[in-house]
Chains A and B, each alone.
Chain A
Amino acid sequence: MIPVKPLVLLIEDDPQIRRFLRTALTEHEYRLIEAVNGKEGLQQVTTCSPDIVLLDLGLPDRDGGELTREIRSWSRIPIIVISARGREEEKIQALDAGADDYLSKPFGVGELMARMRVALRHSAQFKDGRSEPIFEVDALVVDLGKRQVTLAGQRMHLTPIEYKLLTILVRHAGKVITHAQLLREIWGPPFMNEVHYLRVYMGQLRRKIEQDPAQPHYIFTEQGVGYRFRAESSVNQKTMAAAS
């Protein structure tokens, strides 16, 4: 069976960026529909039911966060938001409104494709209702069924909070998770602003699984936004980087 090419909805007002993305996405076997503003974009989400949305946050007519929330109120479609570096507040707003991931402008094609691949994979897993019981990346194996973590064959002893932190990150591997999302899932809504708890536990967890916690291999810090777990084993990563 030939897999159907995924349909991408691109909501972007700049014609030059649209043109480049059109070429890039076609080159990578995606089908594409385009919208130049939020209103048109929203319409196409309903009428064309795309597989993934690329949403520029600097649209002339609509606030990106608001648009994300509106789409999210009735659809689980993966949304990747695009905005300039230094606009971390804007990204957090969109992510907390339900966007799956973000890209900072300017970005390379390799980066975009990696983000889209992760978002589509998570979306497919969500649709199937199945999630991998065993997660493996490089030397780290997390067995969600047995609640067991091994690093290079060695059984790791994690505290309940460290384990919970790791499993949330692993379940969303490759996607950014905001501080607020982690705090809400681990400690509950009253602790949404207590980012320092997270930093302390993240430090502890990294000391257990990372060789050098200040040069992490598994858990990356997205400064001012949240954390991102390594999407794929480093061998894959290298061949990907070489290809991009």
Chain B
Amino acid sequence: MVEPLKAHNLPSRQAKRTLSGIAAYFCAALLVCVLTIAGMAMIDVLHFNTVSVAMTYTLGVMVVAIYTSRGPAILASLLNVAAFDFFFVSPHFTFAVADTQYFVTFAVMLTVALVITTLTSRMRNEAARALAQEREAHALLVEMEREKLRNALLSSLSHDLRTPLSTIKGAASLLAEILQTNSSSSQHTLAVSILEEAERLNRLIENLVFATKLESGAVAVKREWVSLEEIIGSALTRLRSERPSRKVRIMLAADFPLVRGDGVLLEQAILNILENAYVHGGEEREVEIKCKKEGGRVEIRISDCGPGLEAGSETRVFERFYTSRRGGAGGLGLGLHIAKGVVLAHGGKIRAENRWEGGASIFIDLVADEAPMASLQEVMAA
């Protein structure tokens, strides 16, 4: 985790070396002023000739070209020639030129200055490109390292943890079966405890792996025609093996349209919401699932008759690792987070609300495409 910081350090090092914007132009002009004063001192105090002054100006352009960009260097080149002409070429303090050979001096000064400017800026661009490439490669490497770590963690979570769990669950189920036929009740209870806890642990791992996959974008969302009736049905069947007595009321029109999405993912989302409703909805209380189509959208509402959401937790219930302070589930707080991830991956929306008659509702809002009924008619005719 130290690596990415290094990558961020690279640009600031470069920024320190070069000036940019208006400041650079200002510095270029300032340098010309300084050089002009230095030139005057050279002529008046040290009695040098004008060639030395011209050379000093050219040196100045080089400095500007190295430390700023191309624009300020060109400005310095032009100002140099103008200042040289104005202050050092007779007649002094006018732009007029008495000796025409100075035009050659001006031309050489300007050309040399511009060539220096061009070469320097090209060099700098090369260096910057090399730096950017290096940075990009570095960032890519960091990302790859991170991805590798995440994948290793995911696969060890999903395989290395689940394999022993398979044995634990299987062995516990066999033990429970053997002990029941021998009717030694306390031993049987213990075996059932192992079995149930193995199942719970398995669900926690599954949720952890699923949430990590969703967040890293490693989940491919299929876009198939799926039936909400089937999805709700299979989610309930899976839950029924654990909580057979739970009463669920489903309101779904017989001609409810198919929805485009990933059946496996949507089943998981609905299962997580239902599980939540079972846990927080109070024992022996009914859970209600209501589906309706409105315009281009399909809404699934899952409601319980429990104490409802804690005030202000309507959005926080979808946060990762959020668990109610009331407790109860003993989960990781990933169920609704996963449901949200699945719904968002389908281009839908999810929200939680308290019902006025008591209990909480989770609303899933999905885009409803037009089902391909025309092609179905053809098949029916065939």
Q: How far is the CA of A14 from the CA of B163 in the complex (A)?
A: 8
A214 at the interface (CB under 8 A from B): yes
A74 at the interface (CB under 8 A from B): no
B177 at the interface (CB under 8 A from A): yes
B158 & A197 in contact (Cβ 8 Å cutoff):
no
B263 at the interface (CB under 8 A from A): yes
A109 & B173 in contact (Cβ 8 Å cutoff):
yes
Which residue of A19, A191, A224 is within 8 Å of B379 (Cβ)?
Answer: A191
A203 & B163 in contact (Cβ 8 Å cutoff):
no
Collect the chain A residues with CB atoms within 8 Å of residue B289's CB.
Answer: 214
Looking across the interface, which residue of chain B has its beta carbon closest to that of A107?
B170
Interface residues of A in 7-57 (CB under 8 A from B): 14, 16-17, 19-21, 23-24, 27
Q: How far is the CA of A19 from the CA of B224 in the complex (A)?
A: 41
A195-B195 contact, Cβ under 8 Å, with A105-B162, A107-B169, A202-B230: no
A214-B250 contact, Cβ under 8 Å, with A187-B379, A196-B225: yes
Q: Which 7 A-B pairs have the closest CB atoms?
A: A196-B225, A108-B173, A224-B264, A106-B166, A106-B169, A221-B234, A214-B250
4 extra interchain contacts, Cβ-Cβ under 8 A, other than A199-B227, A223-B230? A14-B167, A84-B159, A203-B229, A221-B234
Interface residues of B in 332-375 (CB under 8 A from A): 371-372, 375
A17-B231 contact, Cβ under 8 Å, with A84-B158, A88-B264, A107-B169: no
B233 & A199 in contact (Cβ 8 Å cutoff):
no
A84 & B379 in contact (Cβ 8 Å cutoff):
no
Which residue of A88, A200, A224 is within 8 Å of B258 (Cβ)?
Answer: A200
B164 to chain A, nearest CB (A): 7
A66 at the interface (CB under 8 A from B): no
A106 & B234 in contact (Cβ 8 Å cutoff):
no
A61 at the interface (CB under 8 A from B): no
Q: Mark B192-217, 1 if CB is under 8 A from A, else 0.
A: 00010011001000100110000000
Which residue of B167, B248, B267 is within 8 Å of A223 (Cβ)?
Answer: B267
Q: Mark B176-200, 1 if CB is under 8 A from A, else 0.
A: 1110110000000000000100110
A216 & B233 in contact (Cβ 8 Å cutoff):
yes
Q: How far is the CA of A58 from the CA of B42 in the complex (A)?
A: 86
B63 at the interface (CB under 8 A from A): no
Collect the chain B residues with CB atoms within 8 Å of residue A154's CB.
Answer: none
Which residue of A108, A222, A242 is within 8 Å of B170 (Cβ)?
Answer: A108
B232 at the interface (CB under 8 A from A): yes
B147 to chain A, nearest CB (A): 20
A223 & B227 in contact (Cβ 8 Å cutoff):
no
Collect the chain A residues with CB atoms within 8 Å of residue B34's CB.
Answer: none
B165 at the interface (CB under 8 A from A): yes
A110 at the interface (CB under 8 A from B): yes
Looking across the interface, which residue of chain A has its beta carbon closest to that of B255?
A203
B254 at the interface (CB under 8 A from A): yes
B141 at the interface (CB under 8 A from A): no
What's the A-B contact tally at a CB cutoff of 8 Å? Answer: 129
Collect the chain A residues with CB atoms within 8 Å of residue B159's CB.
Answer: 58, 84
A196-B263 contact, Cβ under 8 Å, with A20-B174, A107-B170, A221-B233: no
Collect the chain A residues with CB atoms within 8 Å of residue B233's CB.
Answer: 213-216, 220-221
B230 & A105 in contact (Cβ 8 Å cutoff):
no
B170 & A109 in contact (Cβ 8 Å cutoff):
yes
Residue contacts A-B, CB under 8 angstroms, 26 given = A14-B167, A20-B171, A23-B174, A27-B174, A58-B159, A84-B159, A106-B165, A107-B166, A107-B170, A108-B173, A195-B225, A196-B371, A197-B379, A199-B225, A214-B229, A214-B236, A216-B233, A216-B237, A220-B234, A220-B237, A221-B231, A223-B230, A223-B264, A223-B267, A224-B263, A244-B177
| Partner-A contacts on B (CB < 8 A) | 158-159, 162-171, 173-174, 176-178, 180-181, 195, 198-199, 202, 206, 209-210, 224-227, 229-234, 236-237, 248, 250, 252, 254, 258, 263-264, 267, 289, 371-372, 375-376, 379-380
Q: How far is the CA of A23 from the CA of B178 in the complex (A)?
A: 11
A108 & B169 in contact (Cβ 8 Å cutoff):
yes
Collect the chain B residues with CB atoms within 8 Å of residue A223's CB.
Answer: 230-231, 234, 263-264, 267
B230 & A199 in contact (Cβ 8 Å cutoff):
yes
Collect the chain B residues with CB atoms within 8 Å of residue A220's CB.
Answer: 233-234, 237
A212 & B250 in contact (Cβ 8 Å cutoff):
yes
B174 & A215 in contact (Cβ 8 Å cutoff):
no
Label chain A's interface by main secondary structure.
helix
Looking across the interface, which residue of chain A has its beta carbon closest to that of B262?
A224
Looking across the interface, which residue of chain B has its beta carbon closest to that of A19?
B167
A244 & B230 in contact (Cβ 8 Å cutoff):
no
B108 to chain A, nearest CB (A): 75
Interface residues of A in 124-173 (CB under 8 A from B): 161
A243 at the interface (CB under 8 A from B): yes
A110 & B177 in contact (Cβ 8 Å cutoff):
yes
Collect the chain B residues with CB atoms within 8 Å of residue A200's CB.
Answer: 258, 376
A222 & B162 in contact (Cβ 8 Å cutoff):
no
Interface residues of A in 77-133 (CB under 8 A from B): 84-86, 88, 105-110, 112
Collect the chain A residues with CB atoms within 8 Å of residue B209's CB.
Answer: 86
B274 to chain A, nearest CB (A): 12
Collect the chain A residues with CB atoms within 8 Å of residue B234's CB.
Answer: 220-223
B206 & A86 in contact (Cβ 8 Å cutoff):
yes
A207 at the interface (CB under 8 A from B): yes
Of B176, B199, B209, B227, chain A has the most CB atoms within 10 Å of the CB of: B227
Q: How far is the CA of A24 from the CA of B227 in the complex (A)?
A: 38
Collect the chain B residues with CB atoms within 8 Å of residue A16's CB.
Answer: 163-164, 167
Looking across the interface, which residue of chain B has its beta carbon closest to that of A243?
B177
B206 & A243 in contact (Cβ 8 Å cutoff):
no
Of B173, B176, B376, chain A has the most CB atoms within 10 Å of the CB of: B173
